[in-house]
Structure 1
Amino acid sequence: MTPFDYARATDRPEALRLGAVADTAYLGGGTNIVDLMRERIATPTRLVDVTGLPAEIVETEGGGLLIGAAVRNTALAEHKLVRGRYPVLARAILAGASAQIRNMATVGGNLLQRTRCSYFYDADGSRCNKRAPGTGCDAREGFNRIHAVLGASDACVATHPSDMCVALAALDAIVHLDGAGGPRTLPFDALHRLPGDRPDQDTSLAPGELITAVELPPLAFAATSTYRKVRDRASYAFALVSVAAAVEMADDRIADIRIAFGGIAHKPWRATKAEAVLRNGAATRQAFLDAAAAEFADARPLRDNGFKPALATRTLAAVLASLTMGDAA
Protein backbone atom coordinates (compact mmCIF):
# COMPACT_ATOMS: atom_id res chain seq x y z
CA MET A 1 0.00 0.00 0.00
CA THR A 2 1.29 3.46 -0.92
CA PRO A 3 1.91 5.71 2.13
CA PHE A 4 -0.77 8.35 2.64
CA ASP A 5 -1.83 11.12 4.99
CA TYR A 6 -5.09 10.93 6.94
CA ALA A 7 -7.37 13.78 8.03
CA ARG A 8 -10.82 13.73 9.59
CA ALA A 9 -13.24 16.48 8.57
CA THR A 10 -15.55 17.87 11.23
CA ASP A 11 -17.85 19.71 8.83
CA ARG A 12 -18.49 20.16 5.12
CA PRO A 13 -16.31 23.26 4.59
CA GLU A 14 -13.35 21.49 6.17
CA ALA A 15 -13.97 18.39 4.05
CA LEU A 16 -14.00 20.48 0.87
CA ARG A 17 -10.87 22.36 1.88
CA LEU A 18 -8.98 19.14 2.62
CA GLY A 19 -10.37 17.43 -0.46
CA ALA A 20 -9.23 20.19 -2.80
CA VAL A 21 -5.63 18.96 -2.61
CA ALA A 22 -4.53 16.85 -5.61
CA ASP A 23 -4.51 13.05 -5.21
CA THR A 24 -6.96 13.16 -2.30
CA ALA A 25 -9.82 10.69 -1.82
CA TYR A 26 -12.78 10.90 0.54
CA LEU A 27 -13.14 8.05 3.02
CA GLY A 28 -16.53 6.77 4.15
CA GLY A 29 -16.80 3.23 5.45
CA GLY A 30 -13.70 2.24 3.48
CA THR A 31 -15.23 -1.01 2.23
CA ASN A 32 -14.03 -0.38 -1.33
CA ILE A 33 -11.34 2.32 -1.32
CA VAL A 34 -9.21 0.49 1.26
CA ASP A 35 -9.29 -2.70 -0.84
CA LEU A 36 -8.26 -0.69 -3.91
CA MET A 37 -5.37 0.85 -1.99
CA ARG A 38 -4.18 -2.52 -0.72
CA GLU A 39 -4.08 -3.80 -4.29
CA ARG A 40 -2.37 -0.60 -5.48
CA ILE A 41 -5.26 0.15 -7.82
CA ALA A 42 -5.95 3.42 -6.02
CA THR A 43 -2.97 5.44 -4.77
CA PRO A 44 -4.25 8.62 -3.09
CA THR A 45 -1.69 10.54 -1.08
CA ARG A 46 -4.35 11.73 1.36
CA LEU A 47 -7.60 10.28 2.74
CA VAL A 48 -10.19 12.67 4.12
CA ASP A 49 -12.53 10.91 6.55
CA VAL A 50 -16.07 12.27 6.07
CA THR A 51 -17.92 9.88 8.37
CA GLY A 52 -18.32 12.70 10.89
CA LEU A 53 -20.54 14.69 8.54
CA PRO A 54 -24.33 14.66 9.17
CA ALA A 55 -25.86 11.21 8.75
CA GLU A 56 -29.54 12.05 8.70
CA ILE A 57 -32.61 10.92 6.79
CA VAL A 58 -35.17 13.71 6.68
CA GLU A 59 -38.52 14.08 4.96
CA THR A 60 -38.73 16.80 2.33
CA GLU A 61 -41.66 19.18 2.03
CA GLY A 62 -43.07 17.32 -0.94
CA GLY A 63 -42.99 13.95 0.80
CA GLY A 64 -39.68 12.65 -0.50
CA LEU A 65 -36.58 11.83 1.51
CA LEU A 66 -33.18 13.51 1.79
CA ILE A 67 -30.51 10.97 2.75
CA GLY A 68 -27.17 12.19 4.04
CA ALA A 69 -24.15 10.72 2.25
CA ALA A 70 -22.72 9.50 5.58
CA VAL A 71 -25.79 7.39 6.40
CA ARG A 72 -24.80 3.74 6.80
CA ASN A 73 -26.40 1.23 4.46
CA THR A 74 -27.96 -0.74 7.32
CA ALA A 75 -29.57 2.38 8.78
CA LEU A 76 -31.04 3.27 5.39
CA ALA A 77 -32.44 -0.20 4.76
CA GLU A 78 -34.03 -0.29 8.22
CA HIS A 79 -35.56 3.19 8.12
CA LYS A 80 -39.33 3.09 8.50
CA LEU A 81 -40.08 5.56 5.71
CA VAL A 82 -37.71 3.81 3.30
CA ARG A 83 -39.28 0.43 3.96
CA GLY A 84 -42.80 1.81 3.62
CA ARG A 85 -42.44 4.22 0.70
CA TYR A 86 -39.47 2.79 -1.22
CA PRO A 87 -39.27 -0.95 -0.50
CA VAL A 88 -37.21 -1.48 -3.66
CA LEU A 89 -34.36 0.46 -2.04
CA ALA A 90 -34.45 -1.44 1.23
CA ARG A 91 -34.49 -4.78 -0.61
CA ALA A 92 -31.64 -3.78 -2.91
CA ILE A 93 -29.45 -2.82 0.05
CA LEU A 94 -30.20 -6.07 1.87
CA ALA A 95 -29.30 -8.03 -1.29
CA GLY A 96 -25.80 -6.58 -1.26
CA ALA A 97 -22.75 -7.79 0.66
CA SER A 98 -22.78 -9.00 4.26
CA ALA A 99 -24.36 -7.45 7.34
CA GLN A 100 -20.91 -6.43 8.55
CA ILE A 101 -20.15 -4.55 5.34
CA ARG A 102 -23.60 -2.92 5.32
CA ASN A 103 -22.97 -1.72 8.86
CA MET A 104 -19.79 0.05 7.70
CA ALA A 105 -20.60 1.18 4.16
CA THR A 106 -22.03 4.65 3.56
CA VAL A 107 -24.48 5.90 0.97
CA GLY A 108 -21.89 8.18 -0.65
CA GLY A 109 -19.31 5.43 -0.75
CA ASN A 110 -21.77 2.99 -2.29
CA LEU A 111 -22.37 5.39 -5.17
CA LEU A 112 -18.64 5.64 -5.82
CA GLN A 113 -17.60 2.00 -5.55
CA ARG A 114 -15.67 0.72 -8.54
CA THR A 115 -16.08 -2.38 -10.68
CA ARG A 116 -15.25 -5.83 -9.36
CA CYS A 117 -13.82 -6.96 -12.73
CA SER A 118 -10.97 -9.38 -11.97
CA TYR A 119 -8.80 -7.84 -14.70
CA PHE A 120 -9.22 -4.42 -13.10
CA TYR A 121 -7.91 -5.83 -9.82
CA ASP A 122 -5.01 -7.70 -11.42
CA ALA A 123 -2.52 -4.84 -11.44
CA ASP A 124 0.50 -7.04 -12.15
CA GLY A 125 -0.80 -9.38 -14.81
CA SER A 126 -3.67 -7.91 -16.85
CA ARG A 127 -4.30 -5.05 -19.22
CA CYS A 128 -7.10 -2.74 -18.12
CA ASN A 129 -8.05 0.60 -19.63
CA LYS A 130 -10.01 1.51 -16.53
CA ARG A 131 -6.94 1.08 -14.35
CA ALA A 132 -4.33 2.23 -16.88
CA PRO A 133 -5.86 4.06 -19.87
CA GLY A 134 -4.54 3.00 -23.26
CA THR A 135 -3.20 -0.40 -22.20
CA GLY A 136 -6.07 -2.52 -23.51
CA CYS A 137 -8.90 -4.65 -22.09
CA ASP A 138 -8.10 -8.29 -21.38
CA ALA A 139 -11.69 -8.95 -20.33
CA ARG A 140 -12.92 -8.73 -23.93
CA GLU A 141 -11.14 -11.94 -24.90
CA GLY A 142 -10.78 -13.34 -21.38
CA PHE A 143 -13.31 -14.85 -18.97
CA ASN A 144 -16.17 -12.40 -19.31
CA ARG A 145 -19.19 -14.14 -17.81
CA ILE A 146 -20.01 -11.25 -15.44
CA HIS A 147 -19.39 -8.47 -17.92
CA ALA A 148 -21.58 -5.98 -19.78
CA VAL A 149 -23.96 -6.63 -22.65
CA LEU A 150 -25.27 -3.04 -22.99
CA GLY A 151 -23.44 0.28 -23.19
CA ALA A 152 -19.95 -1.23 -23.35
CA SER A 153 -17.15 -0.08 -25.64
CA ASP A 154 -13.99 -1.47 -27.18
CA ALA A 155 -12.14 0.06 -24.24
CA CYS A 156 -14.13 -1.52 -21.39
CA VAL A 157 -16.81 -4.14 -20.76
CA ALA A 158 -16.90 -3.94 -16.95
CA THR A 159 -20.16 -3.74 -14.97
CA HIS A 160 -21.15 -1.54 -12.06
CA PRO A 161 -21.35 -3.65 -8.87
CA SER A 162 -23.86 -1.76 -6.70
CA ASP A 163 -27.32 -3.06 -5.81
CA MET A 164 -28.37 0.16 -4.08
CA CYS A 165 -27.59 2.19 -7.18
CA VAL A 166 -29.93 0.11 -9.34
CA ALA A 167 -32.82 0.97 -7.04
CA LEU A 168 -31.82 4.65 -6.95
CA ALA A 169 -31.74 4.72 -10.77
CA ALA A 170 -35.27 3.30 -10.91
CA LEU A 171 -36.49 5.86 -8.36
CA ASP A 172 -35.16 8.88 -10.31
CA ALA A 173 -33.01 9.87 -7.33
CA ILE A 174 -31.18 13.21 -7.28
CA VAL A 175 -27.55 13.45 -6.14
CA HIS A 176 -26.52 16.51 -4.10
CA LEU A 177 -22.90 17.64 -4.54
CA ASP A 178 -20.62 20.34 -3.25
CA GLY A 179 -17.20 21.46 -4.41
CA ALA A 180 -15.10 24.35 -5.64
CA GLY A 181 -17.91 25.45 -7.95
CA GLY A 182 -20.47 25.46 -5.15
CA PRO A 183 -23.43 23.18 -4.43
CA ARG A 184 -25.20 21.51 -7.34
CA THR A 185 -27.47 18.56 -8.08
CA LEU A 186 -27.35 15.80 -10.67
CA PRO A 187 -30.07 13.43 -11.87
CA PHE A 188 -28.96 10.00 -10.73
CA ASP A 189 -28.69 8.70 -14.28
CA ALA A 190 -26.14 11.44 -15.02
CA LEU A 191 -23.83 10.52 -12.12
CA HIS A 192 -22.23 7.41 -13.63
CA ARG A 193 -20.68 7.39 -17.10
CA LEU A 194 -20.62 4.80 -19.84
CA PRO A 195 -17.02 3.81 -20.68
CA GLY A 196 -16.55 5.19 -24.17
CA ASP A 197 -12.82 5.70 -24.68
CA ARG A 198 -12.27 6.91 -21.06
CA PRO A 199 -13.40 4.05 -18.81
CA ASP A 200 -11.13 5.35 -16.05
CA GLN A 201 -13.64 8.16 -15.52
CA ASP A 202 -16.45 6.44 -13.63
CA THR A 203 -18.55 9.47 -12.73
CA SER A 204 -19.36 13.06 -13.66
CA LEU A 205 -17.89 14.45 -10.43
CA ALA A 206 -15.34 17.23 -10.65
CA PRO A 207 -12.01 16.82 -8.81
CA GLY A 208 -12.51 17.34 -5.08
CA GLU A 209 -16.31 17.29 -5.39
CA LEU A 210 -18.14 15.67 -2.49
CA ILE A 211 -21.43 13.80 -2.51
CA THR A 212 -23.43 15.34 0.35
CA ALA A 213 -26.83 13.67 0.02
CA VAL A 214 -29.17 11.64 -2.15
CA GLU A 215 -32.75 12.80 -2.58
CA LEU A 216 -35.65 10.46 -3.28
CA PRO A 217 -38.50 12.30 -5.03
CA PRO A 218 -42.07 11.86 -3.81
CA LEU A 219 -43.14 8.95 -6.01
CA ALA A 220 -46.36 7.56 -4.60
CA PHE A 221 -46.33 4.34 -6.60
CA ALA A 222 -42.81 3.52 -5.38
CA ALA A 223 -44.61 1.79 -2.49
CA THR A 224 -45.41 -0.89 -5.08
CA SER A 225 -41.83 -1.77 -5.90
CA THR A 226 -39.31 -4.55 -5.48
CA TYR A 227 -35.79 -5.68 -6.28
CA ARG A 228 -34.67 -9.08 -7.50
CA LYS A 229 -31.05 -10.21 -7.82
CA VAL A 230 -29.82 -13.28 -9.70
CA ARG A 231 -26.33 -14.46 -8.73
CA ASP A 232 -24.17 -17.55 -8.71
CA ARG A 233 -24.66 -18.18 -5.01
CA ALA A 234 -27.14 -16.93 -2.45
CA SER A 235 -24.75 -14.90 -0.32
CA TYR A 236 -22.02 -12.32 -0.88
CA ALA A 237 -22.04 -12.50 -4.69
CA PHE A 238 -22.44 -9.69 -7.21
CA ALA A 239 -25.39 -9.75 -9.58
CA LEU A 240 -25.30 -11.53 -12.88
CA VAL A 241 -28.57 -9.69 -13.50
CA SER A 242 -30.78 -7.66 -11.20
CA VAL A 243 -34.04 -5.78 -11.66
CA ALA A 244 -35.50 -2.85 -9.72
CA ALA A 245 -39.07 -1.94 -10.63
CA ALA A 246 -41.97 0.19 -9.41
CA VAL A 247 -45.42 0.04 -11.01
CA GLU A 248 -48.60 2.12 -10.86
CA MET A 249 -51.72 0.27 -11.99
CA ALA A 250 -55.00 1.74 -13.21
CA ASP A 251 -57.50 -1.09 -13.38
CA ASP A 252 -55.67 -3.74 -15.44
CA ARG A 253 -53.35 -1.32 -17.22
CA ILE A 254 -49.92 0.03 -16.33
CA ALA A 255 -50.39 3.75 -15.75
CA ASP A 256 -46.73 4.39 -14.96
CA ILE A 257 -43.58 2.35 -14.41
CA ARG A 258 -39.90 2.60 -13.49
CA ILE A 259 -37.36 -0.12 -14.34
CA ALA A 260 -33.60 -0.38 -13.89
CA PHE A 261 -31.21 -3.28 -14.43
CA GLY A 262 -27.98 -4.17 -12.66
CA GLY A 263 -25.19 -6.49 -13.77
CA ILE A 264 -25.55 -5.71 -17.46
CA ALA A 265 -23.72 -2.40 -18.01
CA HIS A 266 -20.96 -0.07 -16.87
CA LYS A 267 -23.58 1.89 -14.88
CA PRO A 268 -26.99 1.13 -13.36
CA TRP A 269 -29.09 0.76 -16.50
CA ARG A 270 -32.37 2.69 -16.61
CA ALA A 271 -34.64 0.73 -18.94
CA THR A 272 -36.43 3.58 -20.69
CA LYS A 273 -37.22 1.55 -23.82
CA ALA A 274 -38.92 -1.16 -21.77
CA GLU A 275 -40.83 1.47 -19.79
CA ALA A 276 -42.10 3.07 -23.01
CA VAL A 277 -43.41 -0.28 -24.27
CA LEU A 278 -45.26 -0.98 -21.02
CA ARG A 279 -46.61 2.45 -20.06
CA ASN A 280 -50.38 2.72 -20.66
CA GLY A 281 -50.52 -0.90 -21.78
CA ALA A 282 -51.94 -4.12 -20.41
CA ALA A 283 -50.01 -6.00 -17.75
CA THR A 284 -49.50 -9.30 -19.56
CA ARG A 285 -46.59 -11.70 -19.76
CA GLN A 286 -46.30 -11.06 -23.50
CA ALA A 287 -46.07 -7.32 -22.85
CA PHE A 288 -43.28 -7.95 -20.34
CA LEU A 289 -41.38 -10.05 -22.87
CA ASP A 290 -41.89 -7.44 -25.59
CA ALA A 291 -40.56 -4.75 -23.27
CA ALA A 292 -37.42 -6.74 -22.51
CA ALA A 293 -36.91 -7.43 -26.22
CA ALA A 294 -37.01 -3.70 -26.91
CA GLU A 295 -34.48 -2.97 -24.16
CA PHE A 296 -32.03 -5.66 -25.23
CA ALA A 297 -32.31 -5.16 -28.98
CA ASP A 298 -28.88 -3.50 -28.97
CA ALA A 299 -27.23 -6.00 -26.62
CA ARG A 300 -23.74 -7.11 -27.60
CA PRO A 301 -22.90 -10.21 -25.57
CA LEU A 302 -19.37 -11.52 -25.29
CA ARG A 303 -18.22 -15.12 -25.51
CA ASP A 304 -19.19 -16.12 -21.97
CA ASN A 305 -22.19 -13.90 -21.13
CA GLY A 306 -24.60 -14.57 -23.97
CA PHE A 307 -27.10 -15.86 -21.40
CA LYS A 308 -27.60 -12.43 -19.85
CA PRO A 309 -30.32 -10.97 -22.13
CA ALA A 310 -32.48 -14.09 -21.72
CA LEU A 311 -31.85 -14.18 -17.96
CA ALA A 312 -32.70 -10.49 -17.66
CA THR A 313 -35.87 -11.03 -19.70
CA ARG A 314 -37.09 -13.84 -17.42
CA THR A 315 -36.19 -11.87 -14.31
CA LEU A 316 -38.02 -8.77 -15.51
CA ALA A 317 -41.11 -10.81 -16.39
CA ALA A 318 -41.13 -12.44 -12.95
CA VAL A 319 -40.69 -9.12 -11.14
CA LEU A 320 -43.45 -7.39 -13.11
CA ALA A 321 -45.79 -10.34 -12.65
CA SER A 322 -45.27 -10.15 -8.90
CA LEU A 323 -46.02 -6.42 -8.86
CA THR A 324 -49.01 -6.40 -11.22
CA MET A 325 -50.58 -9.83 -10.79
CA GLY A 326 -49.54 -10.86 -7.31
CA ASP A 327 -47.64 -13.71 -8.92
CA ALA A 328 -44.77 -14.87 -6.71
CA ALA A 329 -43.13 -16.85 -9.52
Structure 2
Amino acid sequence: MKASLICWITVSCVAAASVGCQKREEPVDDSLPRVAQSASASSAASSAPAAPLPPVADRELSAGKIAGESIWLPAFKLVRLPGDAGLTWLEAHALCSSEGREVCTEAQWRRACGEDEAIGKSESWTMTFDGKHGFVVRGGNSCATRTVSPGFEKSPARGALCCEPAIAIKTSNSHPAFLKAVSAKLAKLEKAINDRSASSFSDLCDDELEFYGKSSLSRNRVESLVAGSFRQWPDQWVVHDVCNVSLQLRGGPDDDTWTAECSKLAYRAGEVAGTITKYVFGSRETKLQSVTEPRLPRNWSPP
Protein backbone atom coordinates (compact mmCIF):
# COMPACT_ATOMS: atom_id res chain seq x y z
CA MET A 1 0.00 0.00 0.00
CA LYS A 2 1.52 3.26 -1.02
CA ALA A 3 0.82 6.08 1.44
CA SER A 4 2.89 9.22 1.16
CA LEU A 5 2.93 12.96 1.14
CA ILE A 6 2.64 13.01 -2.59
CA CYS A 7 -0.38 10.83 -3.08
CA TRP A 8 -2.86 13.52 -3.79
CA ILE A 9 -0.97 15.38 -6.53
CA THR A 10 -1.34 12.42 -8.82
CA VAL A 11 -5.03 12.16 -8.09
CA SER A 12 -5.81 15.76 -7.41
CA CYS A 13 -2.71 17.54 -6.34
CA VAL A 14 -0.96 16.60 -3.09
CA ALA A 15 -1.71 16.29 0.59
CA ALA A 16 -0.22 15.17 3.86
CA ALA A 17 0.16 11.43 4.28
CA SER A 18 -2.48 11.37 6.98
CA VAL A 19 -5.05 12.58 4.47
CA GLY A 20 -3.48 11.30 1.24
CA CYS A 21 -4.89 8.92 -1.31
CA GLN A 22 -3.91 5.61 0.15
CA LYS A 23 -5.16 2.68 -1.87
CA ARG A 24 -8.76 2.05 -1.01
CA GLU A 25 -9.92 -1.49 -0.52
CA GLU A 26 -12.37 -2.20 -3.32
CA PRO A 27 -14.57 -5.21 -4.05
CA VAL A 28 -13.49 -7.28 -7.01
CA ASP A 29 -14.74 -5.68 -10.22
CA ASP A 30 -17.81 -7.61 -11.24
CA SER A 31 -17.64 -6.86 -14.93
CA LEU A 32 -15.74 -5.09 -17.65
CA PRO A 33 -18.04 -3.77 -20.37
CA ARG A 34 -16.08 -4.77 -23.43
CA VAL A 35 -16.08 -7.33 -26.19
CA ALA A 36 -14.35 -10.34 -24.64
CA GLN A 37 -11.49 -12.06 -26.45
CA SER A 38 -10.49 -15.66 -25.93
CA ALA A 39 -6.95 -16.27 -24.69
CA SER A 40 -5.91 -17.65 -28.08
CA ALA A 41 -7.43 -14.74 -29.98
CA SER A 42 -5.81 -12.23 -27.64
CA SER A 43 -2.43 -13.93 -27.98
CA ALA A 44 -2.71 -14.03 -31.75
CA ALA A 45 -3.63 -10.36 -31.87
CA SER A 46 -0.64 -9.48 -29.69
CA SER A 47 1.84 -11.44 -31.83
CA ALA A 48 0.47 -10.47 -35.24
CA PRO A 49 2.43 -7.80 -37.10
CA ALA A 50 0.55 -4.54 -36.98
CA ALA A 51 -0.07 -3.06 -40.40
CA PRO A 52 -0.35 0.72 -40.65
CA LEU A 53 -3.81 2.01 -39.89
CA PRO A 54 -5.71 4.29 -42.29
CA PRO A 55 -4.04 7.70 -42.38
CA VAL A 56 -5.58 10.62 -40.54
CA ALA A 57 -4.59 14.03 -41.82
CA ASP A 58 -3.02 16.40 -39.31
CA ARG A 59 -5.61 18.97 -38.41
CA GLU A 60 -6.48 21.74 -36.00
CA LEU A 61 -9.93 21.59 -34.45
CA SER A 62 -11.42 24.98 -33.70
CA ALA A 63 -13.01 25.68 -30.33
CA GLY A 64 -16.53 24.29 -30.26
CA LYS A 65 -18.97 21.72 -28.95
CA ILE A 66 -19.22 18.00 -29.55
CA ALA A 67 -21.96 17.52 -32.14
CA GLY A 68 -25.38 17.44 -30.50
CA GLU A 69 -24.07 17.97 -26.95
CA SER A 70 -23.29 20.74 -24.48
CA ILE A 71 -19.65 19.68 -24.02
CA TRP A 72 -17.28 22.39 -25.26
CA LEU A 73 -13.57 22.12 -26.03
CA PRO A 74 -10.95 24.75 -26.80
CA ALA A 75 -9.00 24.56 -30.05
CA PHE A 76 -6.47 21.73 -30.33
CA LYS A 77 -4.35 19.92 -32.91
CA LEU A 78 -4.60 16.23 -33.77
CA VAL A 79 -2.21 13.86 -35.53
CA ARG A 80 -1.71 10.13 -36.15
CA LEU A 81 1.93 9.17 -35.64
CA PRO A 82 3.62 6.28 -37.47
CA GLY A 83 3.80 3.06 -35.46
CA ASP A 84 0.64 3.59 -33.43
CA ALA A 85 -0.97 0.25 -34.36
CA GLY A 86 -0.89 -2.73 -32.00
CA LEU A 87 0.22 -0.88 -28.86
CA THR A 88 -0.87 -1.20 -25.27
CA TRP A 89 -2.52 1.83 -23.70
CA LEU A 90 0.69 2.87 -21.94
CA GLU A 91 2.77 2.33 -25.08
CA ALA A 92 0.35 4.57 -26.95
CA HIS A 93 0.82 7.23 -24.28
CA ALA A 94 4.60 6.96 -24.64
CA LEU A 95 4.37 7.35 -28.42
CA CYS A 96 2.27 10.51 -28.20
CA SER A 97 4.28 12.03 -25.35
CA SER A 98 7.48 11.56 -27.36
CA GLU A 99 6.11 14.28 -29.64
CA GLY A 100 4.88 16.50 -26.82
CA ARG A 101 1.27 15.36 -27.18
CA GLU A 102 -1.12 13.04 -25.42
CA VAL A 103 -3.46 10.28 -26.51
CA CYS A 104 -6.73 12.09 -27.23
CA THR A 105 -9.35 11.99 -24.51
CA GLU A 106 -12.72 10.52 -25.43
CA ALA A 107 -14.14 14.05 -25.63
CA GLN A 108 -11.40 15.14 -28.04
CA TRP A 109 -11.88 12.02 -30.18
CA ARG A 110 -15.62 12.64 -30.39
CA ARG A 111 -15.07 16.29 -31.29
CA ALA A 112 -12.71 15.25 -34.10
CA CYS A 113 -14.93 12.43 -35.37
CA GLY A 114 -17.81 14.88 -35.56
CA GLU A 115 -15.74 16.83 -38.07
CA ASP A 116 -14.43 13.81 -40.01
CA GLU A 117 -16.39 10.55 -39.86
CA ALA A 118 -13.45 8.65 -41.39
CA ILE A 119 -11.76 8.83 -37.99
CA GLY A 120 -14.39 6.42 -36.67
CA LYS A 121 -13.44 3.66 -39.12
CA SER A 122 -10.47 2.49 -37.02
CA GLU A 123 -10.17 1.79 -33.30
CA SER A 124 -8.32 4.22 -31.07
CA TRP A 125 -7.29 4.21 -27.44
CA THR A 126 -8.37 7.26 -25.45
CA MET A 127 -7.16 8.83 -22.19
CA THR A 128 -10.54 8.14 -20.59
CA PHE A 129 -11.12 5.45 -17.97
CA ASP A 130 -14.33 3.44 -17.63
CA GLY A 131 -14.84 1.32 -14.55
CA LYS A 132 -12.13 0.05 -12.26
CA HIS A 133 -9.84 -1.54 -14.84
CA GLY A 134 -10.80 -0.40 -18.33
CA PHE A 135 -10.02 2.38 -20.79
CA VAL A 136 -12.36 3.66 -23.47
CA VAL A 137 -11.69 2.59 -27.05
CA ARG A 138 -13.50 4.60 -29.72
CA GLY A 139 -14.14 3.76 -33.35
CA GLY A 140 -13.68 0.59 -35.36
CA ASN A 141 -16.91 0.95 -37.30
CA SER A 142 -18.29 4.46 -36.89
CA CYS A 143 -18.15 7.53 -34.68
CA ALA A 144 -20.72 5.87 -32.41
CA THR A 145 -18.65 2.73 -31.77
CA ARG A 146 -17.45 2.50 -28.16
CA THR A 147 -15.88 -0.37 -26.22
CA VAL A 148 -13.83 -0.67 -23.04
CA SER A 149 -10.58 -2.66 -22.81
CA PRO A 150 -7.88 -3.28 -20.20
CA GLY A 151 -4.76 -1.27 -20.86
CA PHE A 152 -2.52 -4.30 -21.42
CA GLU A 153 -4.60 -5.51 -24.37
CA LYS A 154 -3.10 -5.20 -27.86
CA SER A 155 -4.84 -5.28 -31.20
CA PRO A 156 -3.27 -4.74 -34.63
CA ALA A 157 -6.48 -2.95 -35.62
CA ARG A 158 -6.19 -0.41 -32.79
CA GLY A 159 -4.18 2.79 -32.87
CA ALA A 160 -4.06 6.02 -30.94
CA LEU A 161 -4.63 9.54 -32.18
CA CYS A 162 -2.40 12.12 -30.51
CA CYS A 163 -3.80 15.47 -29.40
CA GLU A 164 -2.62 18.68 -27.84
CA PRO A 165 -3.99 18.95 -24.29
CA ALA A 166 -7.54 20.34 -24.27
CA ILE A 167 -9.88 20.02 -21.29
CA ALA A 168 -13.57 19.61 -22.13
CA ILE A 169 -16.07 21.84 -20.31
CA LYS A 170 -19.69 20.93 -19.62
CA THR A 171 -21.73 23.84 -18.27
CA SER A 172 -25.02 25.68 -18.58
CA ASN A 173 -23.10 28.94 -19.03
CA SER A 174 -22.36 29.05 -22.75
CA HIS A 175 -20.81 32.53 -22.84
CA PRO A 176 -17.61 32.20 -24.94
CA ALA A 177 -15.54 34.40 -22.62
CA PHE A 178 -16.48 32.27 -19.60
CA LEU A 179 -15.71 29.02 -21.41
CA LYS A 180 -12.31 30.25 -22.57
CA ALA A 181 -11.38 31.65 -19.15
CA VAL A 182 -12.33 28.45 -17.32
CA SER A 183 -10.56 26.23 -19.85
CA ALA A 184 -7.40 28.34 -19.72
CA LYS A 185 -7.27 28.30 -15.92
CA LEU A 186 -7.70 24.51 -15.75
CA ALA A 187 -5.10 24.06 -18.48
CA LYS A 188 -2.58 26.07 -16.44
CA LEU A 189 -3.28 23.87 -13.43
CA GLU A 190 -2.76 20.68 -15.43
CA LYS A 191 0.40 22.05 -17.03
CA ALA A 192 1.85 23.00 -13.64
CA ILE A 193 1.41 19.42 -12.45
CA ASN A 194 2.76 17.84 -15.63
CA ASP A 195 5.70 20.25 -15.75
CA ARG A 196 6.27 19.33 -12.07
CA SER A 197 6.54 23.00 -11.19
CA ALA A 198 5.53 23.64 -7.59
CA SER A 199 5.94 27.39 -8.02
CA SER A 200 3.63 27.44 -11.05
CA PHE A 201 1.04 25.52 -9.08
CA SER A 202 1.42 27.88 -6.13
CA ASP A 203 0.90 30.88 -8.41
CA LEU A 204 -2.62 29.60 -9.10
CA CYS A 205 -3.53 29.34 -5.40
CA ASP A 206 -5.21 31.83 -3.09
CA ASP A 207 -3.41 32.94 0.08
CA GLU A 208 -5.22 30.17 1.95
CA LEU A 209 -7.13 27.22 0.57
CA GLU A 210 -8.86 24.00 1.46
CA PHE A 211 -6.53 21.31 0.30
CA TYR A 212 -7.69 17.72 0.13
CA GLY A 213 -9.66 17.86 3.35
CA LYS A 214 -7.36 20.25 5.21
CA SER A 215 -8.75 23.77 5.57
CA SER A 216 -6.80 27.04 5.74
CA LEU A 217 -3.49 25.77 4.41
CA SER A 218 -1.21 28.60 3.34
CA ARG A 219 -0.07 28.89 -0.24
CA ASN A 220 3.54 28.36 0.88
CA ARG A 221 2.57 25.17 2.70
CA VAL A 222 0.82 23.85 -0.40
CA GLU A 223 3.85 24.68 -2.53
CA SER A 224 6.06 22.74 -0.13
CA LEU A 225 3.79 19.70 -0.31
CA VAL A 226 3.64 19.83 -4.08
CA ALA A 227 7.43 20.14 -4.37
CA GLY A 228 7.83 17.09 -2.14
CA SER A 229 5.47 15.16 -4.37
CA PHE A 230 7.45 15.96 -7.48
CA ARG A 231 10.68 14.86 -5.82
CA GLN A 232 9.24 11.53 -4.73
CA TRP A 233 7.29 10.74 -7.90
CA PRO A 234 9.22 12.42 -10.75
CA ASP A 235 7.35 10.47 -13.44
CA GLN A 236 3.82 11.49 -12.44
CA TRP A 237 1.33 13.09 -14.82
CA VAL A 238 -2.38 13.80 -15.02
CA VAL A 239 -4.97 14.26 -17.76
CA HIS A 240 -8.31 15.97 -17.19
CA ASP A 241 -11.07 14.71 -19.47
CA VAL A 242 -14.43 16.47 -18.90
CA CYS A 243 -15.08 19.05 -16.18
CA ASN A 244 -18.62 19.87 -15.08
CA VAL A 245 -18.49 23.58 -14.35
CA SER A 246 -20.93 25.76 -12.42
CA LEU A 247 -20.84 29.44 -11.48
CA GLN A 248 -21.74 30.64 -7.98
CA LEU A 249 -22.76 34.31 -7.92
CA ARG A 250 -22.38 35.63 -4.39
CA GLY A 251 -22.69 39.37 -4.88
CA GLY A 252 -19.49 40.63 -6.45
CA PRO A 253 -16.16 39.73 -8.08
CA ASP A 254 -14.47 39.27 -4.70
CA ASP A 255 -17.08 36.74 -3.59
CA ASP A 256 -18.17 34.98 -6.79
CA THR A 257 -16.73 31.51 -7.40
CA TRP A 258 -16.86 28.79 -10.01
CA THR A 259 -16.54 25.07 -9.43
CA ALA A 260 -15.11 22.43 -11.77
CA GLU A 261 -15.76 18.77 -10.99
CA CYS A 262 -13.43 16.89 -13.29
CA SER A 263 -12.92 13.33 -14.43
CA LYS A 264 -9.18 12.82 -14.34
CA LEU A 265 -6.52 10.17 -14.93
CA ALA A 266 -3.35 10.15 -12.86
CA TYR A 267 -0.17 8.14 -13.38
CA ARG A 268 2.81 7.38 -11.14
CA ALA A 269 5.41 4.61 -11.10
CA GLY A 270 3.55 2.22 -13.38
CA GLU A 271 0.10 2.63 -11.84
CA VAL A 272 -2.96 4.59 -12.91
CA ALA A 273 -5.89 5.98 -10.91
CA GLY A 274 -9.14 7.52 -12.11
CA THR A 275 -10.59 10.23 -9.91
CA ILE A 276 -13.34 12.80 -9.73
CA THR A 277 -11.59 15.95 -8.51
CA LYS A 278 -13.38 19.14 -7.49
CA TYR A 279 -11.71 22.54 -7.86
CA VAL A 280 -13.14 25.84 -6.61
CA PHE A 281 -11.76 29.10 -8.00
CA GLY A 282 -12.68 32.56 -6.74
CA SER A 283 -11.67 36.12 -5.85
CA ARG A 284 -11.07 38.97 -8.26
CA GLU A 285 -7.89 37.27 -9.49
CA THR A 286 -9.59 33.86 -9.91
CA LYS A 287 -7.38 31.91 -7.53
CA LEU A 288 -7.69 28.28 -6.47
CA GLN A 289 -9.54 28.19 -3.14
CA SER A 290 -10.37 24.51 -2.69
CA VAL A 291 -9.38 21.09 -3.97
CA THR A 292 -11.23 17.96 -2.90
CA GLU A 293 -11.61 14.42 -4.17
CA PRO A 294 -15.25 13.34 -3.89
CA ARG A 295 -14.71 9.99 -5.59
CA LEU A 296 -12.01 7.56 -6.72
CA PRO A 297 -13.79 5.33 -9.27
CA ARG A 298 -10.56 3.60 -10.31
CA ASN A 299 -8.11 2.73 -7.53
CA TRP A 300 -4.37 2.73 -8.16
CA SER A 301 -3.47 -0.28 -10.29
CA PRO A 302 -1.38 -1.16 -13.35
CA PRO A 303 -3.07 -0.12 -16.62
Q: Structure 2-normalised TM-score?
A: 0.34
More helix by share: 1
More strand by share: 2
If asked which structure has higher relative contact order (CA below 8 Å, sep 6+), I would say 2
Q: Structure 1-normalised TM-score?
A: 0.32
